[in-house]
């Protein structure tokens, strides 16, 4: 199995983080688990591997929230394909989380 994870903290409440990004191409995913507004897990079955991404928002100290994206790639070719496709898929996690937090914080003040 191959995995990676990235987190960021924000002053936005979990309810503000729970949103669908606009302007992105759709990817066929299966929602494997959900517990709004704290968690959802999506899966993409690519044949020899399954890409599973956990999107979690947790309250931390005071009025802060922590947003975490964790990706795991499993399956018969995970050891081979994971290091190849994993960084490509997850490479924008820091930017995606930063943009998500920026948008959520702007909604908090609106």
45-95 per-position pLDDT tens digit: 989 999 999 999 998 988 889 999 999 999 999 999 999 999 988 999 999
Q: How confident is the model at residue 98 (pLDDT cuts 50, 70, 90)?
A: very high
Residue 107 has a CB neighbour count (10 Å cut-off) of 14
**What does CATH list as the number for 2-109?**
3.30.530.20
Residue bearing tokens 């898929």 = 89
Q: How confident is the model at residue 7 (pLDDT cuts 50, 70, 90)?
A: very high
Query: Is residue 33 within 8 Å of 39, Cβ to Cβ?
Result: yes
pLDDT of residue 20 exceeding 60, the answer is no
Averaged pLDDT score across all residues of the chain? 88
Whole-model pTM: value is: 0.76
β-strand partners of 98: none
The residues, any chain, with a CB within 8 Å of residue 38's CB and separated by 6 or more, are 14, 56, 57, 58
**Residue-range domain boundaries for the chain:** 2-109
């Amino acid at each position: 199995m191959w995995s990676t994870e990235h987190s960021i903290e924000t002053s936005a409440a979990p309810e503000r983080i729970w949103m669908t990004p606009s302007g992105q191409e759709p990817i066929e995913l299966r929602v494997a688990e959900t517990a709004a507004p704290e968690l959802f897990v999506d899966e993409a079955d690519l044949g020899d591997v399954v890409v599973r991404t956990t999107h979690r928002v947790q309250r931390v100290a005071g009025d802060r929230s922590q947003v975490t994206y964790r990706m795991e790639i499993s399956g018969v070719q995970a050891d081979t394909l994971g290091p190849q496709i994993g960084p490509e898929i997850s490479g924008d996690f820091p930017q995606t989380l930063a943009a998500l937090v920026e948008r959520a914080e702007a909604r908090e003040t609106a």
